Structure 1
Amino acid sequence: MIGKQLIRLSNRVYRLLKGTGVPLPTKQFREARLKSAGRGQWGEAKTALLTEISEGRSSGTSRLFNRKLLDRIEELGRKSPASPMTIALFGDGPQLQGQTGKTDHAEDISSDDFTDSQREALRQGRNNLVVLLMGAPGTGKTRVVSRLIRDYVNAGETTLLCCYTKSAVNHAVSRLDDNTRSSIFFRAGTFGSLIMEDDLPAFDNVVVDEAGMAHIAYILFLSGLATRRILLVGDPMQLGPIKALDHDPSPWLQKNIFQHQSGTDNLSELYAWQEKHTDSSVLLREQFDIPERIFSVINHFCYGNRLTCRSGGRGLISIIDTSELAPELIGSRRSPVNGVHGELVMSTLHDLLSKQSVTADAIGVITPFRAQSHHLKQLAASRDLPDAIEFGTIHTWQGRLKSAIVLDLTVSGVDHQFQVLSDSNQAMGLMNAALSRCRTHQGIEGRLIVIGNLEHMNTCYANGAITRVLNRLVSNADSVTRPSGEITAGSGLNKDDTQRYAQLTDTLVQDFNSRYRELSAALAGDNLPEEARIEALIWSGYDLIPRLIRLCNRLKRSNQPDWFNVSEDNMETLEQPVAALELSSLSENVRFSPGRISHFRAVISDLYMAIYESTMVRSATGRNQNPVEPVFDPDALSGDSYGRIRVWLKDLRNYYEHDTSKWEEWQRQNNKTQRDLFFQQSVGKPAPEKPQDYSSLNYLQATLFALKEVIAYLDTVRNKLKGNS
């Protein structure tokens, strides 16, 4: 206590003398403070906070918070013994798996409509000392937390709910029932308000929502408040802790608790850790609200396709590409303003409201930059747009949901990068958080509208996380608008600048073919392309095939079955090309890995189901019959006609899936003829004598060729059907 008072006294004397203009040895004083802070328990955390206070560019309020947090951690270091939750999270030992004993009066959930993963979260939340509850938006984290808090309060256990932002606190509290909200055993607050409060009491339970946004120094403080259990809730793949320094700070201020516990910020390694620690962590795996097409993009990039979509709507995606306008930025280098994008946002809002498809309170506008958000809000007020439309940066949107989200990426016309878009983790977290704000709600289809200079993004952030997400959104879009004329106040968008679903598909087919030619030539040469380009082409192909199938089926006659009777399960398989992506590695170390043959077999099987099995007509005798033209191509056996890929897929599947030793010689010879044609076209040599004779590079070439052929086949069928209609 005396040491702490002396440090406070020296700080006050230092500030007093500095304020009077007395020259002081600043560097030496800071070094002495850092050395003092580094002593004792939690020295690294205290040193990190002192460094941020002295060197950071954060506001005065933030520095005050950090000073208070430093005081709280110093107080925590003097506690003996430390809280079991603190030891479990930050000490060495098995306490993370500790049990508290079941909370009394917890309601039975066996008859409630909870998923299996939600039930496991409730079980751990009632029994464990520490629970790390992870889940994407829309997986039911808030529902689980609300039930647990109600259980705690009903049992007479004091419970603290804390979130990073005030809006998130309000949202979380609004989901509780009246009795819980008004109970003397319940309290809620932001991290900042709790840190600033002197004489804060301990609580039986501490529930930390948005735990992924809190650096671990915050969690260290909060863990010391819990006496029975701590529940850490969040999405590790959304926005991480906000950094105040330009350089990378200490892990105590950079990492969240999920990264700290797992020892990684890598997606695959994080999930591998969770699967090994299911006794103290839960991943909610079912998503209910985000529209299917939007969620498929999030699930791919952020969750490794580990989650299941149960949303009732597919969603609408619109892109406004400002490449031809090439807008210039104004304002500061750190937080710019894009006036042209501002006008496009206003035009978009006007269109949404005029169509009366959504109400003003169901619309949200998100941008990565505070200055642009402020500009948009002022612009909307000057145009008399409804106050109910919400504007903000993504950090202000945690927990809030809208039927229509307008995402303004802002950046354009500069030769430097913005870290929020160039850093893979930050960019992916930003896009995940922004896209997941869009929900299908009360029968209103969720709609996402992205405004960005795609040419600038693909040039300045080439092969970056942000461009990979954007390009997949374009592949799934209903429309792309490329305004070319001058954008002024109230000018609106020219309908002639918009490509609708069918027109856009034509453009996407052309783009795929162009990229395929480049990559196939590179794969056949010595200078192999970047794996990211191959993965992007695979995703484009697998996004195109369902688009073309749907367009073909739209051209059926009334009372006629679909031309391609692809089940939703098979369509989802096409939209998650796991096997094809497994072949995209160009490392020589995996060229002859055992899995390459099974991956190629899976690719062929999926494509066969999509364009062959789905078209067969069942006869009265129960035998499959060929479909009618143009789905069936009578000239396909020649190897030169558009339908050749159907023949090749059938014979490839028969060879890789069946026991060929039982075939007649004529069957074997016919099959070999078609396989030779396929491999000669795709890799420049006949089919392998044995499947293991070809490397993963050969099978990758064959996979990309098969995708190209399927797309060409479907596009030809579509055009022939249009000609017949």
Structure 2
Amino acid sequence: CTLDRDLSKFSGMFFRLDGDEGVVGLSMHLSNLSRLMENSQNSERLRELVVDLRSPEFITNLSSVLPREAKDIVANILKGLNKPQKQAMKKVLLSKDYTLIVGMPGTGKTTTICTLVRILHACGFSVLLTSYTHSAVDNILLKLKRFRVGFLRLGQGQKVHPEILPYTEGSVRKERDVHTLSDLEQLYNRELVVATTCMGIKHPIFTRRQFDFCIVDEASQISQPICLGPLFYARRFVLVGDHQQLPPIVQNHEARTLGMDESLFKRLELHGDAVVQLNVQYRMNRQIMSLSNSLMYDGRLECGSERTATALLTLPLLLPVQSELLSFSQSHPELDLSWVQATLLPSNAVCFLDSSLVPALESVEQGGVSNHTEAALVHMLLSLLIKAGCKPGDIGVIAPYRQQLKTISTLLQSPAFTEVEVNTVDRYQGRDKSLIVLSFVRSTAEEGHLGELLKDWRRLNVAITRAKHKLLMVGSVTTLRRYSPVEKLLNHLQQENMIIQLPPAAHKALPSMHL
């Protein structure tokens, strides 16, 4: 590290520095594992916890942790939290090793982390805040800056949120006129809170600083070797995630089979006494939440308020659209439009449109799998919903295959659809929309190879929990029952009368209406 080198004898020489970021990602796995095997007290302790799976320890008396001058501040901060969030704060403060916080969908994970940092900061603890992505780190910092908690953000300026740029090393160095190593060291040690991605641990600051706590957001999405990196620099750590949502991305099938997609979060979760579950959610209404409860959480997920539980999609112009549909169906008695009327109703917060009777077969092209009829149905429904007053920016479309996303995007070229977001499940992790339309794509009469994407329980869970007020799903029940996760979902939908059977000519029903 440059900070540890005496460069005075090179005073007459010029040096050229080249950054090679490509190598960092590849070598980080190996260097973290290599460090884990070092003969040092720090590495030995971490091995006990993550390799030998020694049970984490906790102290029993909270008053011994909280400084007297911080008690009123902490009590005031805790007032805005629900019961599980308060339990999480207490568990972290009592920990001697680590705590796991399970952030179920919509439970305010980012708010919880922000509050935890505020409490630790008020107690005088130093905090290393990390995540796998720059956006996740900055989302927490954007909340944190509102409370005037100072922090230093490490990382390249072009990857940092514009509002966080004043807190980056480069900006602070200019502001404070840093010229000497002593100035630089003071800058690195000044703030109690330092934030960076898991890949940013090669920064010189980590050769000199140890932290009281390390918080890792998105921990269930990070591979174990990468997640280990920041943990070397803290006495205690907090992993925040949910292994029922997206796992670490591992392309190689053999590597997945051998356990590469198991996160450290999942590995340590067997110690139940270290786990706190955030199960009070403020995103989904009761009908949408019931799907996730049935699929993954065994009824543990709860609505944070009656307002959340009963919230519905707002369609201020629905009546004129309903009248137009009624008039259209009267002049075209051969067309059954009852399914359209039922689908548009805000009170029907969850609708699965079964296309089994519709000629809506998938097509496998060079770019991947798509379903043109499903795409047309999605386009038609979005046209009606926007006409009924749904804001395009409140709409998200999800499909498991990129080719289907391209097909749908091609149909949504009109300016009316500009703000409609069409994306994969992975791009929606951590976010939500008032209305989500999910196209399942697969529809075939053959009993052939089943695609991998629809076999993943976790991806399905993320997809259905992005919706706040209304969730529309389009797919062939006949085909989708071959996929275990979707079959379980369909059984719940059938039990709750949430499946609408589309008539054979559903895809031809509305082309002549001026949408």
Taking structure 1 as the reference length, the TM-score comes to 0.50
Unmatched runs of 5 consecutive residues or more in structure 2: 1-20, 153-190, 313-348
Do residues 394 (structure 1) and 421 (structure 2) align? no
The structure-2 alpha-carbon separation of the partners of 1:190 and 1:491, relative to structure 1 and needing over 3 Å to count, comes to farther
Larger radius of gyration: 1
1:246 maps to which residue? Answer: 253
Shift, 1:292, TM fit:
0.6
Distance 1:62 1:406 in 2: 37
1:282 maps to which residue? Answer: 276
1:92 maps to which residue? Answer: 52
Between Structure 1 and Structure 2, how many residues are aligned?
Answer: 404
Deviations 1:525-559 (A, max 9, x none): xxxxxxxxxxxxxxxxxxxxxxxxxxxxxxxxxxx
Distance 2:311 2:416 in 1: 29
2:106 maps to which residue? Answer: 138
CA contact (8 A) 1:412 1:453 kept: yes
**What are the within-5 Å matches in structure 2 for residues 138-537 of structure 1?**
138-178=106-146, 179-180=148-149, 184-191=191-198, 193-194=199-200, 197-199=202-204, 201=206, 202-225=210-233, 227-249=234-256, 253-262=260-269, 274=272, 277=273, 280-310=274-304, 311-313=308-310, 316-323=349-356, 324-332=358-366, 335-356=368-389, 358-380=390-412, 382-413=413-444, 415-422=448-455, 426=456, 428-439=457-468, 446-458=469-481, 460-461=482-483, 464-476=484-496, 480=500, 482=502, 484-485=504-505, 487=507, 491=511
Distance 1:251 1:454 in 2: 33
Deviations 1:59-81 (A, max 9, x none): xx998623332233324433612
Distance 2:225 2:50 in 1: 10
The structure-2 alpha-carbon separation of the partners of 1:93 and 1:243, relative to structure 1 and needing over 3 Å to count, comes to closer
CA contact (8 A) 2:32 2:225 kept: no
CA contact (8 A) 1:173 1:181 kept: no
What fraction of aligned residue pairs are identical, expressed as a percent? 25
Shift, 1:132, TM fit:
0.5
The structure-2 alpha-carbon separation of the partners of 1:94 and 1:72, relative to structure 1 and needing over 3 Å to count, comes to closer
Shift, 1:375, TM fit:
4.0
The structure-2 alpha-carbon separation of the partners of 1:159 and 1:343, relative to structure 1 and needing over 3 Å to count, comes to farther
Distance 2:82 2:373 in 1: 46
Partner amino acid, structure 1, of 2:473 = V
* Deviating more after overlay: 308-317 vs 395-404: 308-317
Deviations 1:227-253 (A, max 9, x none): 232111111211222221123536552
Partner amino acid, structure 2, of 1:117 = P
What secondary structure, in the 3-state scheme, does the structure 2 residue paired with 1:97 have? coil
Distance 2:362 2:277 in 1: 43
Shift, 1:344, TM fit:
2.2
The structure-2 alpha-carbon separation of the partners of 1:93 and 1:447, relative to structure 1 and needing over 3 Å to count, comes to closer
Partner amino acid, structure 2, of 1:421 = L
What secondary structure, in the 3-state scheme, does the structure 2 residue paired with 1:306 have? coil
Shift, 1:257, TM fit:
2.4
Shift, 1:282, TM fit:
0.9
Partner amino acid, structure 2, of 1:318 = C
Question: Does 1 or 2 have the higher relative contact order (CA < 8 Å, sep 6+)?
Answer: 2
CA contact (8 A) 1:163 1:209 kept: yes
- Give the number of the structure whose residues are more often strand, by fraction: 2
CA contact (8 A) 1:344 1:487 kept: yes
Deviations 1:390-447 (A, max 9, x none): 222111112111111111112222622012223xxx2x212211121112xxxxxx00
Unmatched runs of 5 consecutive residues or more in structure 1: 1-60, 264-272, 440-445, 495-725
Partner amino acid, structure 2, of 1:369 = Y
Distance 1:466 1:332 in 2: 26
Shift, 1:472, TM fit:
1.7
The structure-2 alpha-carbon separation of the partners of 1:78 and 1:198, relative to structure 1 and needing over 3 Å to count, comes to farther
Partner amino acid, structure 2, of 1:216 = Q
CA contact (8 A) 1:483 1:493 kept: no
Partner amino acid, structure 2, of 1:72 = N
What secondary structure, in the 3-state scheme, does the structure 2 residue paired with 1:302 have? helix
What secondary structure, in the 3-state scheme, does the structure 1 residue paired with 2:511 have? coil
Partner amino acid, structure 1, of 2:81 = F
Distance 1:123 1:240 in 2: 27
The structure-2 alpha-carbon separation of the partners of 1:217 and 1:490, relative to structure 1 and needing over 3 Å to count, comes to farther
What secondary structure, in the 3-state scheme, does the structure 1 residue paired with 2:28 have? helix
Q: 2:28 aligns with which of 68, 71, 92?
A: 68
CA contact (8 A) 2:127 2:211 kept: yes
Distance 2:423 2:194 in 1: 27
What secondary structure, in the 3-state scheme, does the structure 2 residue paired with 1:411 have? coil
2:163 maps to which residue? Answer: none
Distance 1:175 1:485 in 2: 50
**What are the within-5 Å matches in structure 2 for residues 587-626 of structure 1?**
none
Partner amino acid, structure 2, of 1:171 = N
Shift, 1:189, TM fit:
4.0
- Give the number of the structure whose residues are more often helix, by fraction: 1
Distance 1:282 1:305 in 2: 16
Distance 1:181 1:345 in 2: 46
Shift, 1:216, TM fit:
2.0
CA contact (8 A) 1:135 1:234 kept: yes
The structure-2 alpha-carbon separation of the partners of 1:239 and 1:170, relative to structure 1 and needing over 3 Å to count, comes to same
Q: 1:125 aligns with which of 81, 92, 103?
A: 92
Distance 2:493 2:513 in 1: 21
CA contact (8 A) 1:320 1:450 kept: yes
What secondary structure, in the 3-state scheme, does the structure 1 residue paired with 2:487 have? helix
Distance 1:483 1:474 in 2: 17
Distance 1:296 1:343 in 2: 28
Distance 1:490 1:164 in 2: 45
Query: Over aligned residue pairs, what C-alpha RMSD do you find?
Result: 3.4
